[in-house]
Amino acid sequence: MTTGFWHQVEAVVHRDLLRERRRGDVLWVTIPFGALALLLVPLAIGTDASMLRDIGVGMYWVIVMLFGVLVAVGKASRETLPQQDASSLLGLDPAAGFVGRTMSSAILLLAFEAVVGVVAVGLYNIEIIGVGWLVLTLFIVAIGLALLGTLTAGIVNSTSTGIALVPLLVAPLSVPLLLGATQSYDGLRYGNAIISWVSMMMAVVIVVSMIGVLTARPLQES
Amino acid sequence: MNVQTRIRRWPWVAIVLAITVAFVLSMVSPKDDVQGELVRIMYIHVPAAWLAYVAFFVTFLGSLTYLLTKNLKWDRIAAASAEIGVFFTGLTLALGMIWGKSTWGVWWTWDARLTLTAIMFFVYLGYLALRRTTDDPISRASRASVLGVLGAVQIPIVHFSVVWWRTLHQPPSLVRPDGPAIQESLMLVALIVGVLAFTVVYVSAMVKRIELIHLEDRRIEIEHSIDRPVAGDSVVVPELGAKT
């Protein structure tokens, strides 16, 4: 593999998406499970329409955060040690591998957000406000979660506990994304400025991507 | 008593001395007009919270330096500091809950500072859990260092949460642009001495824990390097012409 950085990224994204098309883990397992979770919540806490409308956005983002981790976990469990060794021997730049895996995860997470979002709007009667900001938030959260998931999957890869540790690591670290996403919606709803929340999420994305790219090689060598 | 024994004992002497002074000062300081005797929790709660930040910041510095230098010494510093930081964060949360029950009427409230502190606690529990997944010191150090750097993002968010959000938790007591919030000088002295005493405890615990981690690494190294018997060792090759 002697191609440039972005060609390597493209190859990794293509490989991951092809693998997903063959296995359908996100499409046939994670997305239906997320939609089912949204259906179960009102059965447990009550079916009052106005209450569900109030908590709907928050529930949606919680489901995205928790089930988004499953996307990262699934990808980590598929990447075996011999496959990683083969990629290294082919000359895959670890940073390109990290960016590629992150991009493919982000694409899958966007699909998850879109489908589960439609279900949440339908079940909880959520009001859609500020479409532009909403789409931007969806993109930032998908990229941020994908970055955290890929980075932590790289950290725990081939350890004794392995992927079981990923949710414990990703869930608390994704709190700034959860806060940013929910507070942005509240800001739009009550006519407040949301730029500070969007900036906070962007800052998380920038910091985690820098850490991920810079530590890709030492993590691979470990 | 030889010099080596004296050096080994100094952390314990320093801890006992510092805690005694801090305890006496916290007891002789006046009670609060509003909270009464309950204010004495502050002399442990605030130093514990402060030391938790310091400990996690040291974990960040140790992790970053390990990634740059690949010297395992820095990873040991990061690990020891994270363990102590988790202890101090747990102590902060537990005391905060006791204080909260008495002043707010509830053990827990969904306040930004409380919630983010609990989340920081879980981030570093994850860090410690990650360290237990492998025995190889180099592999462990590389993985944990990345998380040690990543986890530090939480520290400023937790500290400034009382400034960024309107919270039930009071703003910073000591480090403020307009000076400390505590006006009573003896209370302020007791609090500062408490912070210093906890710092002594932190430094002493760090010295001991780093030493212990180094010994654990040595044990693993020795275990791996011992010429262990391998499968087939017990089978003796028959000699040609030997009498049976």
Residue B62 — very low, low, confident or very high, per pLDDT cuts 50/70/90?
Answer: very high
Task: Supply φ then ψ for residue B182, to 5 degrees.
Answer: -85, 120
Q: Which two tokens stand for residue B28?
A: 């002789």
Q: What percent of chain B is modeled with pLDDT above 70?
A: 83
Instruction: Indicate yes or no: CB of B143 within 8 angstroms of CB of A222.
Output: yes
Looking at residue B105, the DSSP 8-state letter turns out to be S
Report, as ranges of residue numbers, the positions in chain A whose pLDDT lies below 50.
none
Specify burial of residue A174 (Cβ count, 10 A radius: 0-12, 13-18, 19+).
Answer: buried
Residue numbers in A near B146 (CB within 8 A): 151, 154-155, 211, 215, 218-219
- How far apart are the C-alpha atoms of B150 and A83, rounded to whole Å? 27
Q: Which two tokens stand for residue B82?
A: 């994270």
Q: Is the pLDDT reported for residue B158 higher than 70?
A: yes
Q: 67-126 in B: which are within 8 Å (CB) of A?
A: 67, 116, 119-120, 122-123, 125-126
3-state secondary structure of B34: coil
- Residue that wins the pLDDT comparison between B237 and B115: B115
By the 8 A CB rule, do B109 and B100 touch?
Answer: yes
By the 8 A CB rule, do B21 and B189 touch?
Answer: no
Q: What percent of chain B is modeled with pLDDT above 90?
A: 20
Looking at residue B36, the DSSP 8-state letter turns out to be B
- Which DSSP string do the residues of B169-233 spell out, in sequence order? S---SSS-TT--S---HHHHHHHHHHHHHHHHHHHHHHHHHHHHHHHHHHHHHHHHHS----TTT
**Residue A204: CB partners within 8 Å, gap ≥ 6?**
A144, A176, A177, A180, B153
Tell me how long chain A is: 222
Q: What is the pLDDT of residue B75?
A: 92
By the 8 A CB rule, do A163 and A134 touch?
Answer: no
What residue type is A1 in one-letter code? M
Instruction: Indicate yes or no: CB of A159 within 8 angstroms of CB of B134.
Output: yes
- How far apart are the C-alpha atoms of B78 and A47, rounded to whole Å? 49
- CA neighbor of B156 nearest in space, from A207, A17, A27: A207
- How far apart are the C-alpha atoms of B125 and A154, rounded to whole Å? 18
Neighbours of A66 (CB within 10 A): 16
- How far apart are the C-alpha atoms of A185 and A129, rounded to whole Å? 8
- How far apart are the C-alpha atoms of B145 and B131, rounded to whole Å? 10
Residue numbers in B near A155 (CB within 8 A): 130, 143, 146-147
Angle formed at CA B162 by CA B161 and CA B164, multiple of 5 degrees: 60
| pLDDT tens figures, A94-130 | 889 889 999 999 999 999 999 999 999 988 888 888 8
Residue numbers in A near B149 (CB within 8 A): 211, 215
Q: Mind telling me how many Å the CA of A146 is from chain B's nearest CA?
A: 15
- Picking from A131-140, B19-28, B58-67, B133-142, which range would have the lowest pLDDT averaged per residue? B19-28
Neighbours of B150 (CB within 10 A): 24
Tell me what the mean pLDDT of segment B200-228 comes to. Answer: 82
3-state helix, strand, coil in chain A (%, to 5): 85, 0, 15
The interface predicted TM-score of the complex, written ipTM, equals 0.75
Q: Mind telling me how many Å the CA of A173 is from chain B's nearest CA?
A: 7
Is the CB of A156 inside 8 Å of chain B's CB atoms?
A: yes
- Residue that wins the pLDDT comparison between B177 and A73: A73
- CA neighbor of B19 nearest in space, from B213, B211, B205: B205
Tell me what the mean pLDDT of segment B145-174 comes to. Answer: 77
By the 8 A CB rule, do B43 and B194 touch?
Answer: yes
Q: Which two tokens stand for residue A53?
A: 């409308």
Tell me what the mean pLDDT of segment B117-128 comes to. Answer: 91
Residue B91 — very low, low, confident or very high, per pLDDT cuts 50/70/90?
Answer: very high
Q: What is the pLDDT of residue A205?
A: 93
Q: Is the pLDDT reported for residue B120 higher than 60?
A: yes
Residue to mutate among B123, B125, B143, with most A CBs inside 10 A, is B143
Instruction: Indicate yes or no: CB of B126 within 8 angstroms of CB of A168.
Output: yes
